[in-house]
Every structure is written in structure tokens, then in C-alpha cells.
Amino acid sequence: MEKIIIIKYGELSTKKDNINFFLNILKTNIKNSLKDECIIDYDRGRMFITNINNYDKVINILKNTFGIHEINVGYKLNDNNLETIESDLKVLIEDKDFKTFKVETKRSYKKYKMNSMEISKYLGGVVLKFKNNIKVDVHNPEVVINVEVRNDYAFIYFDKENGLGGYPVGSLGKGLLMLSGGIDSPVAGYLALKRGVKIEGVYFESPPHTSEAAKNKVIALARILTKYSGYVKLHIVNFTNIQEAIYKNIPHEYLITIMRRMMYRISERLANKNNCKIIINGESIGQVASQTLTSMQAINSVVNIPVIRPVACLDKLEIIDIANKIGTYKTSILPYEDCCTIFVPDHPVINPEIEKCIEYEKLIDFNVLIEEALNNIKTLKIEEVDTTFNDLL
Ligand code: ATP
Ligand code: MG
């Protein structure tokens, strides 16, 4: 028998004709993360990894890979004969210490001479005879002995780790994540990745009003997201001229509304240029004045591209929970101001009128400014391993 890792797919297995499309991407994603260390095979029901040197490392990577429902370290037997299953099972449990157990059998090979119940019952009897002082507990066993009988061989495995679920990153195409240094947008990015959307990031900076440290924080957040997605491209837009023009010319209660309309316009252009089919951001209904439904309408109306807001309906505490779980929270709360916080007026409009936005925007030559910003974008490729910003974390 051979020690292997067995992967179960979860929601992916509901895909019918195009399941291979998804599985191929999952395989490629795993291969890229493992850097070709192992051999990966799959069929419609399971993916198998063999030739593994460091199990802990591989499992850690798989636990952060979307498209995986469950991870099992198990053993592939040479054939599916009952005698082989029985003798290999004895070898595997010989040194295992447990008092209660149950056997669960799955049989994808339907012509096998026994059905699943019969196999479980038979092997349960074998275990009871083989070990002293143990009993079957079907409700709360210390050890579950899983047996899978397939056409040419069988698997035995005991432990399972939960995967993240979702779809393999990239299987649903690409989206442009508006990534600020806050708590919400990295969580929004993570949730989009979970649905199979590969992300590129866009960050609007306004030097000298925003600091290098604020930008580095956004880079650090993008780097944390690479753990779930592979490398992330981050587009950095110099927003200073636009920000200053708005500040000088537009009535202050509309500063944020107009500023966000500009961000949306630039994001749409950038998304189209980079084959991103949607914009993703961290807006949450009601969180601030620019996220009332009327504000969202006024801001959203300047673009045609779909804007997906994965945290729109979550409470801040729910978002913080996810941020903690995915490892972005501690970085997000580092105290560097971004361009939104510097130019915040005392009384931002809560119910902006689109007609007024259009009127005010005539006061600045915004098309020229947008063109200029688009021509000066700097794009970074953020990889998972980089020590440059470790001092920030
Ligand atoms: P977060 O909402 O992520 O905690 P924030 O509170 O600074 O950060 P908001 O002002 O609530 O952000 O803006 C809502 C969303 O707009 C953000 O979640 C983000 O997607 C986007 N956004 C805001 N500022 C920027 C920026 N400087 N660059 C890129 N995207 C931004
Ligand atoms: Mg926010």
C-alpha cells in the first residue's frame, strides 16, 4: 500500500458536463502552489496526491486552496480484495490507540461481492477481534475507519481536515478588487476568490497626502491574499491631482461622492483593459455616508461593469471575524491614513443627487485627469514570499 492524500470536492461535484474544466484548474492551482513536488491525479469523485515528501506542508497548502471540501491522509491498497483490505487495515491500526470506533464504507465499484453495509460490518468484526478492550460507537467514535472500494483498488483513511470549499481560483474568470488598507476590502477579495474569481487589485494613493507606509500596508494585505490565490497583480493609481482638483472645486459635502465616482470610472477602465469582468469592493450597506443605498446609486451610475460587494450584507463584527480567520485583520488595523480619510468632510451628503454630481463634475476637467491617472499606473506583481514588508506585520 502507498500513503497518499485524497481530496474531496464538495460543491464542485455538482458540476456535470464541465466538471473536468474545474478539476483541471484545481489541479493546476495545487501544482503551482506545491511547486511540482508531487504527482496529482484525479477522477470525477476524488483528487489524489502522491510522491509527497512533507505531508504537513502539503496539507497546509491544501487547507488554503479553494475548491477543496475535505482533505484525507490515507492509504491506497494494491487491489480491492477483501483479504488485502483486512490485512492492510490490521497493519494500519496495530499501533493506533483508541477505545471506540466505527467503520464507514463507500463503494464506487458497484459490482463488488458485498455491499457497503456488509463490508463495514465485516471489517468492524475484524477490528473487534484484533484489538483488546475496544467497542463500536456509531454516534461519537474516537476513530472513524473509512474504507473506499473502487474498481481496481481500495483506500483506507482515518483523519480528515476540512478544506475551504468554494471554486478553484480562476475558474470563474477575473475581477478587479478595489483594495484599500481597511478591514473590509481584503475580506471582500477573499470572498470573491472563494467563488473562483481570480483577483487583480487597484489601490488609489495620493502622495504626499498619503504615506509610503499606507501603500506598503496595502501591499502587505495583497501579499496575505496570495496565500489563497497565488500571485496578485496590484495596480497603483496616483490619485493626487484628482483628489486635489475635487477638494478645490467641489462643494465639500459632495467630496466623497465625486471622489468615489472617479475611482469607479478609473477602475472600470482598468478592469476592461486587464480582462477583469467585474469590480469587487468592500462596501457594506449603511456603514458610512457613501454606502447608503442612495449613495451607492449615485456612485454606481458612472459605470456599466457589474460591481460585486461581497460584504454588503455583513455586520462589521462578522467582517472582522473573517478578517481574523484569513489573517488580514492585524495588518488592516495598522494606523496609516489612506486618501479617503484625509479628505473626509465634516458633513458628507447622505442622499446625494445624481444631477448635482453631474453639475459639480463640470467644474473640473475630469476626463483629462482620469486619462493622466490611467497613463501613470504602476503595476506590481505581489508574490507570496517576500521579506521586504515583514517589519510591518
Ligand atoms: P475598508 O472598507 O476596506 O475597511 P475603508 O473603510 O477605508 O476600508 P471605505 O471608505 O469604506 O473604505 O470604502 C469602501 C470601499 O471602497 C473599500 O472597501 C474599498 O473596496 C474601496 N476603497 C476605498 N478607498 C480605496 C483606495 N484608496 N483604493 C482602492 N480602493 C478603495
Ligand atoms: Mg469600509
Return the SS3 of 250: coil
Locate the ligand 1 atom nearest the alpha carbon of residue 239 and give its number: 27
Per-residue pLDDT tens for 77-113? 999 999 999 999 999 999 999 999 999 999 988 889 9
Rounded to two decimals, the pTM is: 0.92
Q: Where does the pLDDT of residue 393 fall: very low under 50, low under 70, confident under 90, or very high at 90 and above? A: very low
Distance (angstroms) between ligand 1 centre and the Cα of 267 equals 13
Which of 14-23, 189-198, 266-275 is the least confident region? 14-23
Same-domain pairing of 205 and 240: yes
Task: Select from 177, 178, 179, 180 the residue to mutate for testing ligand 1; criterion: most ligand atoms less than 8 Å from CB.
Answer: 180
| Rounded Cα–Cα distance for residues 179 and 229 (Å) | 15
Last residue of a domain, one of 130, 146, 165: 165
Per-residue pLDDT tens for 20-38? 999 999 999 999 998 867 9
What DSSP letter does each residue of 59-90 carry, written as one string? HHHHHT-TTEEEEEEEEE-S---HHHHHHHHH
| Rounded Cα–Cα distance for residues 304 and 268 (Å) | 8
Per-residue pLDDT tens for 303-340? 999 999 999 999 999 999 999 999 999 999 988 766 55
Same-domain pairing of 68 and 111: yes
Locate the ligand 1 atom nearest the alpha carbon of residue 184 and give its number: 3
Mean per-residue pLDDT for 256-267? 97
Q: Where does the pLDDT of residue 388 fall: very low under 50, low under 70, confident under 90, or very high at 90 and above? A: low
- pLDDT of 259 higher than 70: yes
Give the CA dihedral 167, 193, 323, 387, nearest 10 degrees: 120
Helices assigned H by DSSP within the chain = 19-34, 55-63, 82-93, 116-130, 184-194, 212-229, 240-249, 255-273, 293-300, 316-326, 329-332, 339-342, 354-361, 366-375
User: Residue 152 belongs to a domain with what CATH number?
Assistant: 3.30.2130.30
Distance (angstroms) between ligand 1 centre and the Cα of 321 equals 18
Same-domain pairing of 196 and 153: no
| Helix 240-249 with 255-273: angle, nearest 10 deg | 150
Total number of domains in the chain: 2
Mean per-residue pLDDT for 171-177? 97
Distance (angstroms) between ligand 1 centre and the Cα of 339 equals 9
Ligand nearest to C-alpha 340: 1
Q: Which of 283, 274, 305 is nearest to 200 (CA)?
A: 274
Last residue of a domain, one of 132, 165, 198: 165
Range of the domain at 325: 174-392
Task: Select from 184, 209, 238 the residue to mutate for testing ligand 1; criterion: most ligand atoms less than 8 Å from CB.
Answer: 184
| Rounded Cα–Cα distance for residues 101 and 103 (Å) | 7
Same-domain pairing of 74 and 181: no
Same-domain pairing of 178 and 127: no
Question: CA 250: distance to chain centroid?
Answer: 39
Closest protein CA for atom 5 of ligand 1: 182
Task: Select from 185, 264, 342 the residue to mutate for testing ligand 1; criterion: most ligand atoms less than 8 Å from CB.
Answer: 185
- pLDDT of 63 higher than 80: yes
Distance (angstroms) between ligand 1 centre and the Cα of 341 equals 10
Same-domain pairing of 132 and 198: no
Same-domain pairing of 182 and 156: no
- pLDDT of 270 higher than 60: yes
Same-domain pairing of 144 and 37: yes
**According to the model, what pLDDT value does residue 247 have?**
94
Same-domain pairing of 210 and 336: yes
Check: CB of residue 263 under 8 Å from CB of residue 283.
Answer: no
Ligand nearest to C-alpha 320: 1
Per-residue pLDDT tens for 198-218? 999 999 999 999 999 999 999
Pairing assessment for the beta strands 307-308 and 278-280 based on DSSP bridges:
parallel
Same-domain pairing of 117 and 213: no
Distance (angstroms) between ligand 2 centre and the Cα of 333 equals 12
Residues lining ligand 1, Cβ inside 6 A: 178-180, 182-185, 202-204, 281-283, 287-288, 338-340
Closest protein CA for atom 13 of ligand 1: 283
Q: Which of 12, 89, 92, 76 is nearest to 41 (CA)?
A: 76
User: Residue 243 belongs to a domain with what CATH number?
Assistant: 3.40.50.620
Closest protein CA for atom 10 of ligand 1: 340
Same-domain pairing of 133 and 178: no
**According to the model, what pLDDT value does residue 342 have?**
66
**What percent of the chain is modeled with pLDDT above 90?**
85
Same-domain pairing of 39 and 91: yes
Last residue of a domain, one of 126, 144, 165: 165
